[in-house]
Amino acid sequence: MLRIADKTVVQGCRKEFKVQLKLFNNPKCFNRIPRPLYILDLLDCDMKGVYGFLMEFCVGGSVSAFAKRWCADGKYMSVDDTADDSEPSDSSSASDSDDHKDFDPMTLNPVKVCSLCVGMIECLADVFKAKPKLVHRDIKPDNFLVRVDPDSKKCTIVLADLGFVQIQDSISSSTSSQQIVSTDPARKKGKKEERRVVCGTFVFNSYEALVEGLQSQLSDAHSLGMSILSLFMCLPPFVGHPTLRGIEDAVLFVKKLSSLLTNGLTPKLSSSPLFKTLLTIDDGKYEPVHKIFDEVFTGLTLLDVDKRMSVHEARVKVQCIKPFLPTIGEDYDCPSIEAIIREQRKKYGGSVGTIEGMRCGVAGVEHEEGWDQSQ
């Protein structure tokens, strides 16, 4: 018998499973999401009260983690570049959080990073072909996974974490599933307090999502632009910004972040030292790539929604530079399932929720402790 507190957990699990299954059955985007298997109850493990569902196990991991392995070659380090001494924020998983620690983005191949960015753009554009129009509401590199075909070794980027997906026309501030509630003592004094409702990861969210709680495919486009920036910086956007540092209250954090966006302090892709190196490789061979990506990033992150570039427009833009870029995963030495199991056991001490799903060789278990959507 389920505890009362677990009913919400199971409902969230079933919702994401149904969305994933529906998209998988859509011929326009089934190749762009992890294959759903079935809902799993993990009460028999040592993690009591944790639920999840089985899905295809993507050997490449998240795009942010894959970039550290496939794009790293150390050829682009410059002695003139100053290291960023800011501390990275917590990521959505322990693995990705560890990947961010003490990692210098200047050790990455910027051309390969561009390939991954194009892959994310094409992946999201394919998912957005589905009808009715869907909004993901939590776009970030950690939610894009890299599928590796065991025979051809071909790598495909797929979109995961579909728990916040909704139909675009039905989204309003009253239907969003995550509420930001202030912990300010003024609440106890009976004073009226502004309540905002928003889904997703704050530092990737658009201005209209943060301020009004309204999210659309154009809001996802903004998050996609921020995801491109984070790949080149190897850090989430706004990390280490003095205005946001040390803020724990969610409402205050969103207020400060909204103020940054309103005042035009959106990060610029051209400020990334790694992105600048595109202009110096092979006597400026990749200057067209630099130009197009700068245009795409600027268009995706415009504050004015009416003028913002859509994901489909971004896809059309990057088609002309694909001949300059390598195929995703080219010459990538894909690890075996056994090697990943050994690595996970060493890293997490043999966590059953992670290992048992991998043991079958085709599926992994995705779970969050308690499935607390407020985090």
> Does the pLDDT at position 89 exceed 50?
no
Between the CA atoms of 305, 307, 310 and 312, what dihedral angle is there, to the nearest 10 degrees? Answer: 160
> Does the pLDDT at position 344 exceed 80?
no
3 state DSSP class of 62:
strand
Considering only residues 126 and 75, tell me which one the structure prediction assigns the higher pLDDT: 126
Task: Give the amino acid at 277.
Answer: T
Which of 179, 171, 203, 200 lies closest to 251, judged by CA?
Answer: 179
d(CA 194, CA 187): 10
pLDDT at 326: 95
pLDDT at 48: 58
Name the DSSP class of 108.
B
Q: Give the pLDDT confidence of 242-261 residue by residue, as tens digits.
A: 888 888 877 888 888 888 88
CB 205 within 8 Å of CB 198 = yes
pLDDT at 160: 94
pLDDT at 306: 92
Q: Give the pLDDT confidence of 53-81 residue by residue, as tens digits.
A: 888 889 899 999 999 999 987 665 443 44
* Axis crossing angle, helix 110-127 with helix 311-318, rounded to the nearest 10: 140
> Does the pLDDT at position 147 exceed 90?
yes
pLDDT at 109: 95
Considering only residues 265 and 142, tell me which one the structure prediction assigns the higher pLDDT: 142
d(CA 144, CA 61): 8
The three state secondary structure string of 334-356 is CCCHHHHHHHHHHHHCCCHHHHH
- Give the model's confidence band at 193: pLDDT under 50 very low, under 70 low, under 90 confident, else very high: very low
| Segment 343-355 mean pLDDT | 60
Query: 300 to each of 57, 122, 165, 236, 307, how far by Cα in Å?
Result: 30, 14, 20, 16, 9
pLDDT at 357: 36
Q: What is the pTM of this model?
A: 0.80
d(CA 206, CA 199): 11
- Give the bridge partners for 146, in sequence order: 157
Query: 144 to each of 11, 141, 192, 306, how far by Cα in Å?
Result: 23, 5, 40, 26
pLDDT at 263: 83
